[in-house]
């Protein structure tokens, strides 16, 4: 059965973007983030995370560190009765120091590869789904995958998200204009 999905960027949307986050001891949740994920779960949507993690290509940390952080986030979310259905991350960067990750790929946002991989694995209702990101590259990836995109303003994530869930249950989602951007991490 098809279900809508919310695609969250990670750094700057779910957790504060302090630059190349990988240590759970240093992670600070964005205000309302855990409640936002729970609201997505309670509304019957899939909850996905799609995140560029070029710190791997740059040699700052390894894939296992990212997986460990995602496991920690899952445990933290479980405390409030919330969950992420899948985490996707891109370890690549064309200027990376680690040769095997120094590539141009289709998963690094603004490319849609992480989103399209999830769309292939899960029965997602694309027309009722949307992305929440804090950079133009997040919005561009969503739009390239054919889903709506909303630029998170850095406020309380639950407060930001709640009317989007309501809007999607009463008709097709609308596309928010974007006004800032960069290539992401």
82-115: per-residue pLDDT in tens?
999 999 999 999 999 999 999 999 999 999 999 9
Q: Is 23 part of the annotated catalytic residue set?
A: no
Q: Is the pLDDT of residue 56 over 70?
A: yes
Q: Is the pLDDT of residue 153 over 50?
A: yes
Give residue 20's pLDDT band: very low, low, confident or very high (50, 70, 90): confident
Give residue 168's pLDDT band: very low, low, confident or very high (50, 70, 90): low
Q: Is 9 part of the annotated catalytic residue set?
A: yes
pTM of the model: 0.89
Choose the weakest-confidence range: 48-52, 115-119, 122-126, 174-178.
Answer: 174-178
Q: Do residues 81 and 146 lie in contact, with contact meaning Cβ atoms separated by under 8 Å?
A: no
Average pLDDT on 69-78 reads 98
- The Cβ of residue 2 has, within 10 Å, a number of other Cβ atoms equal to 12
Closest to 133 measured CA to CA, from 151, 108, 154: 151
Residue 17 neighbours by CB under 8 Å, 6+ apart: 11, 134
DSSP labels, 80-140: TT---SEEEEE---TT-SSGGG-S--SSSTTS-HHHHHHHHHS-B-GGG-EEEESSHHHHH
Query: Which domains, and CATH codes, for the chain?
Result: 5-169 (3.40.50.1000)
Phi, psi of 99, deg, nearest 5: -55, -45
Q: What angle is formed at CA 8 by the lines to CA 119 and CA 100, rounded to 5 degrees? A: 70
The residue from 11, 17, 134, 138 that is catalytic is: 11
Q: Which pLDDT value is given to residue 179?
A: 34
In the chain, DSSP finds a helix count (H) and a strand count (E) of 5, 5
Closest to 125 measured CA to CA, from 44, 185, 8: 44
The conformational region for residue 153 under phi > 0 = left, psi -120 to 50 = alpha, else beta, is alpha
Mean pLDDT over each residue of the chain, to the nearest integer: 90
- Strand pairing report for 86-90 and 46-52: parallel
């Amino acid at each position: 059965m098809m279900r809508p999905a919310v695609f969250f960027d990670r750094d700057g949307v779910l957790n504060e973007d302090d630059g190349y986050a990988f240590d759970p001891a240093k992670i600070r949740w964005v205000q309302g983030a855990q409640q936002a994920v729970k609201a997505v779960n309670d509304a019957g949507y899939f909850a996905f995370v799609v995140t560029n993690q070029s710190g791997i290509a740059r040699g700052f940390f390894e894939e296992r560190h990212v997986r460990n952080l995602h496991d920690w986030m899952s445990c933290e979310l479980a405390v409030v009765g919330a969950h992420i259905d899948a985490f996707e991350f891109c370890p690549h960067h064309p200027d990376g120091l680690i040769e095997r990750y120094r590539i141009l790929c289709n998963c690094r946002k603004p490319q849609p590869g992480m989103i399209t991989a999830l769309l292939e694995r899960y029965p997602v209702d694309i027309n009722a789904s949307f992305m929440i990101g804090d950079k133009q590259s997040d919005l561009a990836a969503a739009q390239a995958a054919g889903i709506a995109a909303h630029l998170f303003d850095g406020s309380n994530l639950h407060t930001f998200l709640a009317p989007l869930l309501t809007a999607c249950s009463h008709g097709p989602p609308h596309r928010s204009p974007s006004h800032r951007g960069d290539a992401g991490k």
